[in-house]
Amino acid sequence: MRPYVFVNLAMSADGKISTRERRQVKISGADDFKRVDEIKAGSDGIMVGIGTVMADDPSLTVKSPELKAARRARGEDEHPLRVVVDSMARTSPDADILCKGAGQRVVAVSAAAPAGRVEALREKAEVVVVGEKGVDLTLLMHELATRGVKRLMVEGGGTLIWGLFKAGLVDELITYIGSTVIGGVDAPTPADGEGFVREDEFPRLELAGVERVDDGVLLRWVVKKEE
Ligand SMILES: NC(=O)C1=CN([C@@H]2O[C@H](COP(=O)(O)OP(=O)(O)OC[C@H]3O[C@@H](n4cnc5c(N)ncnc54)[C@H](OP(=O)(O)O)[C@@H]3O)[C@@H](O)[C@H]2O)C=CC1
Ligand SMILES: Nc1nc(O)c(N)c(N[C@@H]2O[C@H](COP(=O)(O)O)[C@@H](O)[C@H]2O)n1
């Protein structure tokens, strides 16, 4: 049992999701940010890796007052359950994702995480231990499903997205391609990590939507199930 997992990200025309300094950059325009807010508000959970928390310090809150009100009217928290994938419990207890906006948080750590940092995080979030040295994403998905997460949005970054593809845990990939070039061999891309080598390992995608948004294009891909 696991949630439906969809990845949403914004990349430049040359396929970069940030600069080589891993600084947060604005790739999307106003219409795309509105779309992202809507799909976030329609999700039960939203997940990022610790690399994104340290680079961007995102809150991952729903921004629109109307969307927050609609969630409350459905009996939901204003914001989806926020999840950080963080083997060594490096998330700062002062991170925006733990401090901004009401609602529940899960920090997924491994058994190797230092006890003191885990205890500090327990003040702000539920800490789930899944995996020995790194976070076992399959076990984490099961834990999230038992907490009622049916639709999970993944906001990045590239290392986490790679890990999810590698584990066969992605159902849908939504990419906004913006009208800019970032460049840099070390700039992060939508799926980093070690990468696949054999063609028979490559996840296969079916194009489910193409739409012009702002000055860029939104692509929706559905991951084909293995036959
Ligand atoms: N344009 C966009 O849409 C977005 C851009 N970004 C950008 O992405 C960059 C951050 O990406 P990145 O550095 O790759 O960091 P990620 O957010 O992908 O976090 C990666 C970290 O997650 C932890 N992790 C734990 N278990 C796993 C696992 N099983 N698989 C994969 N990762 C795991 C690892 O750290 P540990 O071993 O310590 O647990 C790993 O280094 C930033 O520059 C940010 O601005 C981010 C989101 C969206
Ligand atoms: N969709 C999208 N477009 C961009 O241009 C971006 N830079 C990002 N980045 C993601 O948005 C997060 C910010 O979240 P908060 O506003 O703090 O809630 C950031 O961390 C990236 O995940 N996304």
Residue spans of alpha helices (H) in the chain: 30-41, 50-56, 65-73, 96-99, 115-122, 137-146, 158-166
CATH of the domain at 197: 3.40.430.10
Question: For ligand 1, what atom is nearest to the CA of residue 164?
Answer: 30
Say what the pTM is: 0.97
pLDDT tens digits for range 169-200:
999 999 999 999 999 999 999 999 999 999 99
| Domain extent for 96 | 4-223
User: From ligand 1's centre to the CA of 219, what distance in Å?
Assistant: 22
pLDDT tens digits for range 116-134:
999 999 999 999 999 999 9
Distance of CA 157 to the CA centre of its chain: 7
User: From ligand 1's centre to the CA of 64, what distance in Å?
Assistant: 26
Closest CA to ligand 2's atom 12? 58
Would you place residue 227 in the very low, low, confident or very high pLDDT band (cuts 50, 70, 90)? low
Q: What is the ipTM of this complex?
A: 0.98
Phi, psi of 137 (to 5 degrees): -65, -30
User: From ligand 1's centre to the CA of 159, what distance in Å?
Assistant: 5
Rounded CA separation 68/97 (Å): 17
Stretch 90-111: mean pLDDT: 97
Report whether residue 52 contacts ligand 2, using a CB cutoff of 6 Å.
Answer: yes
Report percent pLDDT > 70 for the chain: 100
How many independent structural domains does the chain possess? 1
Contact between 7 and 164 under an 8 Å Cβ cutoff? The reply is yes
Indicate whether 226 pLDDT > 80. Answer: no
